[in-house]
Amino acid sequence: MIKRISGIIITGLLLFSCENRKMGMTISGNQESAYYDAVEENGIKTIHVFVALCDNKYQNIARVPAALGNGRSPNTNLYWGALYGIRTYFKNSNEWELLATIKGNNVILERIIFRHVQENYYLIADAYNGRYIKQCIQDFLNSSSGNKKEALQFGGITLGTGGSASTLVYIGHDGLMDFQLSETFVNTDNKKRDVIILACYSKCYFSPHLQEANVNPLLWTSNLMAPEAYTLYDALTGYINGETNEDIRERAAAAYANYQKCSVNAAKGLLVTDW
């Protein structure tokens, strides 16, 4: 449920050239081991954000204005190019530097890469065409369990995406309220990944699929919510500072209360942590 319609920022983005224009490359076997060795040696940590763009046509949501709810238009979409969308909000921050905007395909329309200005963290966010919300959620779950591992060569370094990232985030409508998934998401590499799921009732609907995925739920929800970028932004500030799950929850709740004009206690009832 969306309580308030965000403003729209109409901006042009400079497209950066990359050595490898593919969205990512699948890694396995020796490549996987080499990737983890490189991460451990260089201290590189990546946060991979899966965003299912808001879509009036293909998602069972409360309708929003056409531009905000066009799941094929990242530039104006509520969860991406609007004022409190991931791309706009992080681009306007002082803590993250936008390195690249990469055009994708019909499923993942756009990828953005940010670098934290102080710590050795990279944030990679993918804008999924709203029509393909099911694939977005499947990709997130497979990544969270370590069953979908990829890497991205960028600027002379290897960045982990999918299950090769240390933190996985889903933002968007809770599609699991509308469809069922038959596959299971069982962890096979014994690596525990941190996850954040900003969607309505996400703990209720996502927890059955993550029971065997060996994840640490930093933040998810107990009720209806507006999954806008400020909640994630403040949660990640605490995460990068090495704070506890509860401290991260406190930060996220304070941000949500501020922007949604509700009490902090109400926000803390909505945004929960752990199992």
Cα gap 239→19, rounded to integer Å: 30
Whole-model pTM above 0.95? no
| Residue the block writes with tokens 């069972």 | 60
Cα gap 47→204, rounded to integer Å: 23
28: helix, strand or coil: coil
Among the listed residues 224, 127, 118, the one whose alpha carbon sits nearest the alpha carbon of residue 171: 127
| Strands of the sheet with 271-272, listed across from one edge | 96-103, 108-116, 121-128, 45-52, 167-171, 193-198, 215-221, 271-272
Cα gap 45→120, rounded to integer Å: 7
What confidence tens digit (pLDDT) does each residue in 5-51 have? 333 222 222 222 233 334 554 444 445 555 555 554 567 899 999 99
Taking residues 220-233, report their average pLDDT.
Answer: 98
Is 243's pLDDT higher than 70? yes
User: CA torsion angle for 63, 67, 72, 74 (degrees, to 10)?
Assistant: -120
